[in-house]
């Protein structure tokens, strides 16, 4: 008897009919002779709706109370799914994240998992239950409820699969695998049969929403077999594993984009040792992640530099920079929104020169200027204005020979051209 962790996202359990479909899918897996642990997200737009309600009451959104509020979305999902499975004549029990043994660091909003004590989950499995666990949440040693950040249900599923030594972790979503780019933008995107942990981690970090980056990290470090497939059909999914077979002639595996980007520029900074350390040390102390950093030339002992942050962190980052002005004189601070980061990823890029040059040419050919660039062995990222995002992605997808004759499958039916 194999043990599977099955994770279903918000779109898969978006209403009662979809909930019934998921219940049937889980029962099918059990009837094949497997034990099943199911991790679910909040239904549909529940999390966004809760955030909107909170904003109507308090513009500050206190972190602790937001965790108390947002964890209720997953609790609704687990109880309803348990009822749906029981209605099909199977035993099922639902657990919150803390009931399932998730212990986290004492950080609200984006806590990391410190430990998992899954004894209660294992006992329920031994009693013949399908076990349903709320994703996205845990509890500190002091009994404070925490959340793992947006997309944290993926992390819950993979971490739990590692803790209970599951045979595989299946991530069910509204697309039937991992595609070379967003199939909602490129209807002829290529579905990948397999992809390496490293490539998937790059894509996830760069904005591909199909998997959460921390989930891929957990899978890589613990060796959990990870399969991405559709909750709406039984098509073969995509396997994420240590080493994937590189398709002949394919240099770029995927194209990702991230709309959650802002650029902040600090102008007229003294060109002296320790300046960058002070700026980015202050940002790090406020838990603000910086992505791309670009410094321009020095003139009259002054330098300009820019960096990108998540758009959601822009206000906090500006506040931190302004707080440094008294001891770090600068001429001006500016910021830009309406930007996107477009990235190409592929293990084959290491041995193929000219990949970045082609990307720059394609973007230029669409009449778009590049504001920032970042590279690694297997990726190139460009920050650009967001107005022609779809045109740029389609052009890049064609330029790197990723178009197929087949149409991508999203939400069950084929996407129309």
HSE at residue 183, side-chain half, CA atoms within 13 A, is 24
Residue 417 confidence (pLDDT): 29
Nearest to 124 by CA among 155, 176, 78: 78
pLDDT in tens, the chain (417 residues): 799 999 999 888 999 999 999 999 999 999 999 999 999 999 999 999 999 999 999 999 999 999 999 999 999 999 999 999 999 999 999 999 999 999 999 999 989 999 999 999 999 999 999 999 999 999 999 999 999 987 799 999 999 999 999 999 999 988 889 999 998 899 999 999 999 999 999 998 888 878 888 899 989 999 988 999 988 888 889 999 887 665 655 789 999 999 999 999 999 998 888 889 999 999 999 989 999 999 887 788 899 999 999 999 999 999 999 999 988 889 999 999 999 999 999 987 877 889 999 999 999 999 999 999 999 888 999 999 999 999 999 999 999 999 998 777 676 544 332
Phi, psi of 307 (to 5 degrees): -150, 155
CA distance 407 to 405: 7
pLDDT of residue 149: 86
Alpha-carbon distance 180 to 199, whole Å?
Answer: 11
How far is residue 255's CA from residue 182's CA, in Å, rounded to a whole number? 8
Quote the pLDDT of residue 87: 98
Cβ neighbours of 319 (radius 10 Å) = 11
How much is the pTM?
Answer: 0.82
The Cα–Cα gap between 70 and 75 comes to 9
CB 275 within 8 A of CB 269: yes
Rg for the chain (alpha carbons), in Å?
A: 23
Torsion angle (degrees, nearest 10) of CA 385, 391, 393, 398: -150
* Tokens at 32, concatenated: 């094949």
Whether residue 88 contacts residue 24, with contact meaning beta carbons closer than 8 Å, is answered with yes
Structure tokens at 74: 């997953």
Q: Is 125 left (phi over 0), alpha (psi -120 to 50) or beta?
A: alpha
The DSSP secondary structure of 178-190, one letter per residue, reads -BSS-TTT-TTPP
The rounded distance, in Å, linking the Cα atoms of 231 and 11 is 9
CB 177 within 8 A of CB 238: yes
Q: Tokens standing for 225?
A: 């077999």
Give me 219's structure tokens: 């899978």
Taken as a whole, the chain contains a residue count of 417
What pLDDT, on a 0 to 100 scale, did the predictor assign at position 412? 53
Per-residue exposure over 88-115, b if at least 16 CB sit within 10 Å of its own CB, e if not: eebebbbbbbbebbbbbeebbbbbebee
**Structure token digits, residue 327:** 């001891």
């Amino acid at each position: 008897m194999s043990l599977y962790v099955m994770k279903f996202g918000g779109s898969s359990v978006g209403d009662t009919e979809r909930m019934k479909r998921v219940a049937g899918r889980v029962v099918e897996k059990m009837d094949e002779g497997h034990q099943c642990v199911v991790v679910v997200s909040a239904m549909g737009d529940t999390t966004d709706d809760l955030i909107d309600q909170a904003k109507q009451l308090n513009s500050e959104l206190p972190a602790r109370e937001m965790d108390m509020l947002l964890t209720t979305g997953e609790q609704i999902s687990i109880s309803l799914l348990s009822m749906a499975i029981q209605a099909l004549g199977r035993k099922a029990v639902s657990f919150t994240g803390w009931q399932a043994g998730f212990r986290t660091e004492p950080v609200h909003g984006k806590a990391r998992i410190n430990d998992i004590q899954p004894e209660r989950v294992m006992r329920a499995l031994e009693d013949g239950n399908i076990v349903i666990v709320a994703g996205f949440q845990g509890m500190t040693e002091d009994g404070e409820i925490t959340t793992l950040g947006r997309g944290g249900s993926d992390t819950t599923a993979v971490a739990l699969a590692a803790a209970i030594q599951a045979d595989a972790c299946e991530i069910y979503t509204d697309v039937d695998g991992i595609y070379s780019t967003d199939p909602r933008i490129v209807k002829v995107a290529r579905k990948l049969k397999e992809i390496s942990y490293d490539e998937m981690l790059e894509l996830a970090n760069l904005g591909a929403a199909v998997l959460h980056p921390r989930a891929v990290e957990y899978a890589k470090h613990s060796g959990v077999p990870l399969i991405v497939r559709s909750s709406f059909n039984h098509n073969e999914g995509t396997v994420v594993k240590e080493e994937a077979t590189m398709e002949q002639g394919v240099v770029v595996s995927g194209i990702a984009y991230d709309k959650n980007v802002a650029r902040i520029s600090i102008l007229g900074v003294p060109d002296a040792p320790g300046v960058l350390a002070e700026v980015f040390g202050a940002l790090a102390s406020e838990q603000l992640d910086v992505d791309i950093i670009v410094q321009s030339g020095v003139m009259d002992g002054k330098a300009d530099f820019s960096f990108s942050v998540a758009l959601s962190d822009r206000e906090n980052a500006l506040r931190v920079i302004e707080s440094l002005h008294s001891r770090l004189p600068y001429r001006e601070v500016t910021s830009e929104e309406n930007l996107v980061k477009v990235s190409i990823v592929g293990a084959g890029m290491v041995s193929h020169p000219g990949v970045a040059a082609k990307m720059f040419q394609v973007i230029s050919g669409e009449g778009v200027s590049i504001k920032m660039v970042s590279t690694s062995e297997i990726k190139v990222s460009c920050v650009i204005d967001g107005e022609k995002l779809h045109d740029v992605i389609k052009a890049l997808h064609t330029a790197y020979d990723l178009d197929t004759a087949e149409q991508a499958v999203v939400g069950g039916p084929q996407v129309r051209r």
